[in-house]
Amino acid sequence: MRDALVGAAFQLFLERGYEETTVDDIVALAGVGRRSFFRYFPSKEDVVFPDHERCLGDMTAFLSEEDSTDDPVQRVCDAARLVLRMYAENPTFSVQRYRLTKKVPGLRAYELSVVWRYERALADYLRGRSTGPRADTLRADVVAAAVVAAHNNALRSWLRSSGEGDAEKAVDHALGYVQRTFGSSPGGPVDERPEDVVVVVSRRGAPMWRVVQEIESAFGQN
């Protein structure tokens, strides 16, 4: 019944527009009562994002699981991939919703709130994994924001291209950039020759990102 309500709602949103569709219209098309609607969705906005609560729950559960990796940044990148997977499961629906959300400011605001909750879940995990005082909440917040921004950069490109192309590959590329910048096993398996020595020579005053690039390529991580 939940799926039927979502299906009916989107059919009407696309035909008439979001604002012009009432909950009564949706339940009439789905052939159920108002009370059934509100059992599943607190408001009309919630039917637009039927899977985010589940996904937030999955993310929290994933982050609280026993942790096999030593790299908290890789862990939050993997957590972000759960969101991508939710979108990629149903490309047509995701693209329709993306177009709808762009047009309706209220839905955009709703989406920003959801994104904020994902970001907090990642930051809370990173704060828990760090041991120092204030400086580490800073790093946690910045890394969480970077992960979300990179993920959403790739996700939005994919949605804009109507769900064409390989979303997972695009997100891997984007998260790889964040992992190389902040992580401890940047963007790939640990090197097989961990005791090799790398020497980097650089001019003082060179841009830091350029130095990091040099090092990455010396480390074979590019």
Q: Toward a copy of itself, which CB reaches closer, 11 or 157?
A: 157
DSSP characters over 23-87: HHHHHHHHT--HHHHHHH-SSHHHHHSTTHHHHHHHHHHHHHS----S-HHHHHHHHHHHHHHHH
- Minimum CB separation of residue 120 from a copy of itself in Å reads 11
State which of residues 149, 160, 166, 213 lies at the interface with a copy of itself (CB under 8 A): 149
- Minimum CB separation of residue 188 from a copy of itself in Å reads 11
Burial class from Cβ neighbours inside 10 Å (0-12, 13-18, 19+) for residue 208 reads: exposed
Q: Is residue 212 within the footprint of a copy of itself (CB under 8 A)?
A: yes
User: Any idea which residue has 């020579």 for tokens?
Assistant: 201
Residues 188 and 21: their CA atoms lie apart, in Å, by: 48
Contact call for residues 17 and 43 (beta carbons, < 8 A): no
Q: What is the DSSP letter of 185?
A: S
Q: Is residue 183 within the footprint of a copy of itself (CB under 8 A)?
A: yes
Q: Residue 147 CB: number of other CB atoms within 10 A?
A: 25
Q: Is residue 164 within the footprint of a copy of itself (CB under 8 A)?
A: no
State which of residues 2, 19, 190, 213 lies at the interface with a copy of itself (CB under 8 A): 190
**Residues of this chain, 59-98, that bind a copy of itself according to CB under 8 A:** 71
State which of residues 103, 108, 160, 169 lies at the interface with a copy of itself (CB under 8 A): 108
- Minimum CB separation of residue 1 from a copy of itself in Å reads 28
Q: Which stretch binds a copy of itself (CB under 8 A): 36-44, 79-87, 91-99, 148-156?
A: 148-156
Q: Toward a copy of itself, which CB reaches closer, 68 or 208?
A: 208
Sequence length of the chain is: 222
Residue 213 CA to its chain's centroid (Å): 26
Q: Is residue 130 within the footprint of a copy of itself (CB under 8 A)?
A: no
Residues 207 and 74: their CA atoms lie apart, in Å, by: 26
Report the interface residues with a copy of itself, using CB under 8 A: 71, 108-110, 112-113, 116, 134-135, 137-139, 141-142, 144-146, 148-150, 152-154, 157, 173-174, 177-178, 180-186, 190-191, 193-205, 207-212, 215-216, 219-221
